[in-house]
Chain A
Amino acid sequence: MTFRIGILGVALGLLMGGVSFAAFADDAPTFVYADAGEPSTIDPAKANVNWEFTVTRNIYDRLVDFDLDDPSKLLPALATEWKQDGKDWTFKLRDGVTFHDGTAFDANDVKATLDRLLKIGQGQSYLVDDIASVTVVDPKTVKIETKAPTVFLASNLSRIEMLSDEDIAKHKDDLGQAWFNENANGTGPYEFVSWTRGTQIELKRNDKWWGKFPDKPFDRVLDRFVTDGANRARGLEGGEFDLANFVPLDEALRIGTSSGFHLVEGNNLWAWPAIYLNMDLAPTNNKDFREALVKAFDYNAMVQSFQGKAEVGRGPVPSWFPGSPEKEEVEIKTDLDAAKAALAKSGLANAKMKCSVPAGFPEFRFAATVLQSSAQQLGVTVEIEEQPFVEAITAIKSDKSNCFVLGNANLSPSDATKFFAAHYLKGGFYNSGKFFDQTLQDLVAKLPTISDATERGKLLKQAADIVVDSHYIIWTARPKTVVPEPDRIGGYRIDPAEYINARFWEMHSK
């Protein structure tokens, strides 16, 4: 019996003892990133969510980059120079750039990439859907003609990854969709190594990259799929991961202020969340009723829920966005008397409404609950239904719900019109409440054609005012993005035009 217990003890000792898991993180040249989901595709023409961008942004390069501290300032990347002449843009391409398979990068790659992207019509194609044609002038020069003059083309191209025309030609039957879904060959700082389904994508450093790595870069990157937020937080804290995205705020603040960690803070959210009100369905189709809801909403409760790491927006465009009219806008705050007056004017006392909330976002649920209690003070009943995202947005679009809760961010570093088109113009995917205003449609169409920044600023203010005055949206809060980074790691910066991603090529050990 003693012998058996001894064996059991040795077995348990071997199983549980040995190397502590925290110890692995310190000595390995590998960077482990805990990502909130597994990509559905790694095709840059289709990539649409953060965990897809994690891969595509690091494997591929773009024609231009931008300064994260000043998104209006564009930086050279695969293109070294560019200029606009009316509807024509000319890009001079960088010499000596090669894809990971060794083939040279040239203007044919740019043309093939953009032609393919626009044909597929998914992912980020909406950012450059004003392109009319792409012409190869010579191997190092490409000309892009837009449907109408647009000052934002170069800025939006900072989000479009460049593929190899040879790869596209080799897999032309389905526009390369099957191949690019799970294979990658870019010019970027990291090369695709493998994709273990359900577990991770492995990348290795491209030491022939044209750009500059910091000292002590990571040779190997593992993009781990960790669906549970608590697990991402715990794994980061326990040393199993080097960085994690979408760590719940309370955990992020706790970890980031604990020993061995620091907090990286920045802006990239336009609203988190925004509540969209249905313009077609009673009672939210009444403007005065919507005004009552906007004015009754308890913004302070939302800011407090973000533990002070948030402000209340004055409109759709945040103050840190290039050319934002935010500072000239009127403060939006809770005013119960004004709300009651607006409700009386609407003649909709004791109204009932339904709110669809995408599941999986505690902040969304909380905002809906705040709306519910705020509306209750007016005698308005709000019924909340938490549903999967597609089901929730379908409910409001098909007039089965009065409101929908959504986070707002803009993928373009300096073009607000793409955001307006998606959220406030006719047919926009996120325009779930079916807002329509012809003046706004015209303004958004005109904005990119104005080359004078001051003039553009004025038009953007007019556009923002139209949305604010319609009371279509309740911008509940605009929180800061807070990311806990271990002290042994450096280089993480918040991208103001993306929520949230890691530029692995800037990360390094200390």
Chain B
Amino acid sequence: MIGFLFKRLVWGLLVLVAVAVITFFLSRVVPADPAAFLAGQNASEETVQRIRVEHGLDRPLPEQFASYMIGLAKGDLGESIRTRRSVSTDLAQYLPATLELLVVSFVFYLAISFSLAVLAARHPGGAVDGAIRLITMIGTGIPVFWLGMTLQFFFFYKLHWLPLGSRFPIRETAPPLVTGFMLVDSLLAGSPSAFLASLKHLALPAATIVINLLAVGTRMSRAALIQEQSRLYVRTARGKGLSPRRIMFKHILRNALSPILTATTMQFGYMISWVILVEVIFDWPGIGLYAYQSFQVFDYSPVIALAIVSTAGFVIINLVMDLLYPVIDPRVQSVGS
């Protein structure tokens, strides 16, 4: 197990280095001048040149690359030209909002997609199955930005049920920042009303992500459950007179979990990419919004750092899932060993 873990960690590290190298050179290919942005639009060429020198942008590309990679090895993600602060400081501020959105979306995604899959798998090809297929396919077919704006239109503009965006009611004071997770901080502050307010703000962005991913998750879980239903052990269980609920949750589910887990891992990757759009639509102050603002001005360091962070997120979730497989299905462990 330790050997497996070590091997996966080394591979993960190599993937991160490769991403850093690729994004570094890709960002330099774009014919833009971040120094001109930093100097402002009426600055003289001397001022722009001075800023280029200050930020090392005048140095040859290999030199800039070496300097960046050495910094990266020391944990220095560079400085943002736009916010004029270290990228690590920015990420520490923006990341919790994204993680909170991802975690909540992920939990709801799992709960809803799995419940729908169980419902659909009960009578494959039936009316319920058809209805679930139709609804989830429509949800996935709608572009994320349109879905988000439509939800805003109905739930904020028309019904006044949910807020337009951001993490907390504008005119109210947010709970003191402890973890950066607004839900957790609300509870730590002992404020159920703040918790509810935070939940309200999470509702639309999380719904946008979940609705958009629902079809794939539901269909893959449904397929795995149906496949397991046709196994002999299920027939035996039925023959023994076990209730359908017991058969589903005690027997089928456990055996179907591995493919569901694989599908979930892939969906998490999509979730990370959707988060940029969703955060922009809902003014959610997370790394997606930070990435969008950085892209707009070719702010190199945050762009590379964000590529590394999101890749790291994907690598970590893959690793966790790999570790979970043997727990869920002992056959995987015996193959591995």
Contacts and interface: CB of A to CB of B under 8 A. Distances in A.
**A, B from the same assembly:** yes
Interface of A: 14-18, 20-22, 24-25, 28, 30, 32, 37-38, 40-41, 46, 48, 120-126, 177-178, 181-182, 196-200, 222, 224-228, 230-231, 234-235, 237-238, 240-241, 388, 390-391, 394-395, 398, 422, 427, 429-430
B240 interface: no
B171 A32 contact: yes
A40 B84 contact: yes
Given A48-B40, A198-B94, A238-B156, A121 B164 contact: no
A198 B290 contact: yes
Contacts of B83: 40, 197
Contacts of B203: 15-16
Contacts of A18: 196
Contacts of B160: 20-22, 238
B171 A238 contact: no
B165 A231 contact: yes
Interface stretch (B129-137, B264-272, B277-285): B277-285
B285 A197 contact: yes
B32 A390 contact: yes
Interface string B274-304: 0000001101011001101100111000000
Highest count of chain A CB atoms <10 Å: which of B41, B84, B152, B167: B41
A21 B156 CA distance: 8
Interface string B193-226: 0001001100100000000000000000000000
B42 interface: yes
Given A227-B283, A391-B30, A427-B45, A199 B161 contact: no
B82 A40 contact: yes
A234 B44 contact: no
Interface string B144-178: 00000100110111011111111101110000000
B87 interface: no
A234 B153 contact: yes
Given A15-B199, A429-B42, A235 B298 contact: no
A18 B197 CA distance: 10
B84 A48 contact: no
Contact of A394 (B31, B153, B163, B200): B31
Contacts of A122: 39-40, 43, 47
Interface string B13-52: 0000000000000000011111011111111111100100
A225 B42 contact: no
B164 to A, nearest CB: 5
A390 B37 contact: yes
B234 to A, nearest CB: 25
B41 A430 contact: yes
B93 interface: yes
A41 B84 contact: yes
Contacts of A398: 31
Given A227-B283, A390-B37, A234 B43 contact: no
A37 B280 CA distance: 12
Given A15-B199, A231-B165, A391-B32, 5 more contacts: A198-B94, A199-B283, A224-B170, A235-B165, A388-B32
A238 B290 CA distance: 26
Interface in B96-128: 97
B170 A32 contact: yes
B31 A196 contact: no
Given A14-B196, A21-B163, A391-B31, A198 B285 contact: yes
B161 A38 contact: no
Contacts of A240: 156, 163-164, 170
B156 A234 contact: yes
B161 A234 contact: no
Contacts of B228: none
B165 A226 contact: yes
25 contacts: A14-B196, A15-B199, A16-B161, A21-B163, A24-B169, A28-B171, A32-B170, A37-B293, A40-B83, A48-B40, A121-B50, A124-B42, A196-B285, A224-B283, A231-B164, A231-B281, A234-B157, A234-B164, A238-B157, A240-B163, A388-B298, A391-B30, A391-B31, A429-B43, A430-B41
B93 A197 contact: yes
B322 interface: no
Contacts of A422: 42
A222 B164 CA distance: 16
Contacts, number: 145
A30 B170 CA distance: 10
A222 B153 CA distance: 24
Nearest to B170: A32
Contacts of B40: 46, 48, 122-123
A38 B40 CA distance: 15
A222 B166 CA distance: 13
Given A24-B171, A198-B93, A15 B42 contact: no
Contacts of A32: 170-171
B285 A228 contact: no
Nearest to A393: B36
Contacts of A238: 156-157, 160, 164
A121 B45 CA distance: 10
Counting from the closest, the 9 A-B pairs by CB-CB distance are A198-B285, A48-B40, A16-B161, A126-B42, A121-B47, A20-B160, A122-B40, A28-B171, A390-B32
A28 B149 CA distance: 27
Contacts of A21: 156, 160, 163-164, 169
A273 B208 CA distance: 36
Contact of B97 (A25, A198, A235, A391): A198
Contacts of A225: 283
B167 to A, nearest CB: 7
Contacts of A125: 42-43
Nearest to A28: B171
A59 to B, nearest CB: 18
Contacts of A182: 84-85
Contacts of A235: 164-165
Given A22-B160, A121-B47, A30 B199 contact: no
B171 A390 contact: no
B94 to A, nearest CB: 6
Contacts of B82: 40
Nearest to B287: A198
Contacts of B156: 21, 234, 238, 240
Contacts of B90: 197
Nearest to B166: A199
A481 B148 CA distance: 29
Nearest to B174: A196
B43 A121 contact: yes
Contacts of A121: 43-44, 46-47, 50
Nearest to A43: B84
Nearest to A220: B171
B152 A231 contact: yes
A16 B162 contact: yes
A241 B157 CA distance: 13
Contacts of A198: 93-94, 97, 285-286, 289-290
Nearest to B280: A227
A107 B25 CA distance: 50
Contact of B283 (A17, A46, A126, A231): A231
A75 B39 CA distance: 31
A206 B178 CA distance: 30
A254 B11 CA distance: 56
Contact of B167 (A16, A199, A228, A390): A199
